[in-house]
Every structure is written in C-alpha cells, then in structure tokens.
Amino acid sequence: MTWPRCRSVLVSLVALAIAGCGTAETTPTGGVATTVIAAPPPTMAPPATALYVPPDPNATVGALAPVEVSQPCPTSDPSATGPEMFDEATRLEPMLGQVLAYGQAHPEVWGSYGLVWQGAGEASVFVSFTTDVDAHRAALADQAAFPDELIVCQVAITGAEAQALQTQLSRELAGRFASIGVGTSGAVDVVLLPGEEATGSQLSAQYGNAVVVTYGELEQLSV
C-alpha cells in the first residue's frame, strides 16, 4: 500500500473515531422522519455524545422509569477547535474501543460513550450508565488504557431506550417538532414548534427527565 493511500485510510479511521461523538438527530423531511448521524467538521468541537446506530424505525417504548441523575455527563468546550483534535482522537481511540466493549457487555444499564473536549488537543473518554456508576467506574479503571482520562457518568435511561424513544416520538409528534435527538445528557432532546406548549407539558409529565423539551423554529434548508 502506498503512503498516500495509507494516509487516506488513517484519516478515515480518525474521522470515524470523531464521528463517535456526533449527534443523532431526527428532523421532519417531507412528512417522513429522517435520522441523520454526521461527524462534526474539523473546525468544530464535537459535543460529548456518542455514535448512535439508527434504531428500528418501527421501535416502540414501553413504560419508562427514568432514574434520578446525580452524576451527569460533562459537555465539551465549544471553543476547542483545531487540527490537534485528530491526533488526540487517534491517541484515545483504543480506550474508546475498551469502553464500547464494556458497555455492550452491560446493555441493561449502558447509556453511551464518546469524547469530551477540554481543548483542541485535550480530551477525555466518557461512558455513561443508568445505575451503579461507582462500580462501573472502578471496573473500567482496571481496564482503561488511560484511567486518569476516563469519565464515568450517569444518564436517566439506557442508550437503547433513548434511541427507541427518539424514533417513537418522531412518529407521534409528526408536524409538531423542529428536531428530536439524543443529547449530551443521554436524554431525548425534543425541540417543539412554537405553540406546542401543551404537548411539551404532556411529554414532561409522561417521561420525566428522560426527555428535555425546548421550543424553536424549523431551520430553513438551502438548495
């Protein structure tokens, strides 16, 4: 393999690692809810969220009992930009794999994983769980490549529940929302259109801290 091709593959792998911190968001498109997962551009600090595999479009959520979050996940510094981000993502990629494997082994409590940026060239790996956060932190500290750069935090519902709830709400709220996505906190962020305050109150009462409701307009797409 020639060096230019090797370099291209390396860049692709680094981009994939950073994509693990992208945001899964659903927006109404022609009456059909479309889930889009995109890596942040290199000039932007990735938010502290994980790569979410698009759930079954027919997924439904049963009764949820969101836990009270006492150890919330951090957010990235929005000013953390620069080419150093790729080097840092590459350095931490092995630990991302470690926490991913651990989370997949505990699906009943696992939330998400990703990178939290303190600066353009300074990041930590985070992974979240709904319960027993201290126990998972201790277990991961023995496995992580860089335990001092690992953040174990808490979310209200599991990642699988959040994905399914995002999909379900995108169907139920068709025509009433600007966007729906799984946010930094692990909750489902629902941006309702103005005038949907009654819907927002209903969502808050039904799902508690598993859903975060705000209000906004639909973004105008340029063609």
Integer Cα distance of 103 and 188 in angstroms: 19
For residues 179-201, give the mean pLDDT: 92
**β pairing state of 110-119 and 150-154:** unpaired
Residue 39 pLDDT > 80, yes or no? no
pLDDT for the residue 95: 96
**Taking all residues of the chain, what is their mean pLDDT, rounded to a whole number?**
78
For residues 174-187, give the mean pLDDT: 90
Each domain of the chain, given as residue ranges in start order, spans: 1-223
pLDDT for the residue 64: 80
Residue type, 51: L
Q: pLDDT category, 35, cuts 50, 70, 90?
A: very low
Integer Cα distance of 196 and 154 in angstroms: 30
Integer Cα distance of 92 and 70 in angstroms: 26
Integer Cα distance of 165 and 85 in angstroms: 32
Integer Cα distance of 137 and 37 in angstroms: 28
Q: Which of 24-33, 38-47, 197-206 has the lowest mean pLDDT?
A: 38-47
Q: pLDDT category, 55, cuts 50, 70, 90?
A: low
Residue 214 bridge partners (DSSP): 191
Beta carbons of 125 and 151 less than 8 angstroms apart: yes
Beta carbons of 188 and 162 less than 8 angstroms apart: yes
Residue 4 pLDDT > 80, yes or no? no
pLDDT for the residue 120: 86
Contacts of 95 (CB under 8 A, 6+ apart): 125, 144, 145, 146, 149, 150
pLDDT for the residue 81: 87
Output Rg (C-alpha) for the chain, integer angstroms.
18
With b meaning 16 or more CB within 10 Å and e meaning fewer, what string describes 131-163? Answer: eebeebbeebeeebeeeebbbbbbbbbbbbbbb
Residue 13 pLDDT > 90, yes or no? no
Residue 70 bridge partners (DSSP): none
For residues 171-188, give the mean pLDDT: 91
Sheet architecture: strand order including 32-38: 32-38, 23-29, 177-182, 188-192, 211-215
User: What's the DSSP call for residue 94?
Assistant: H
- 129 or 76, greater pLDDT: 129
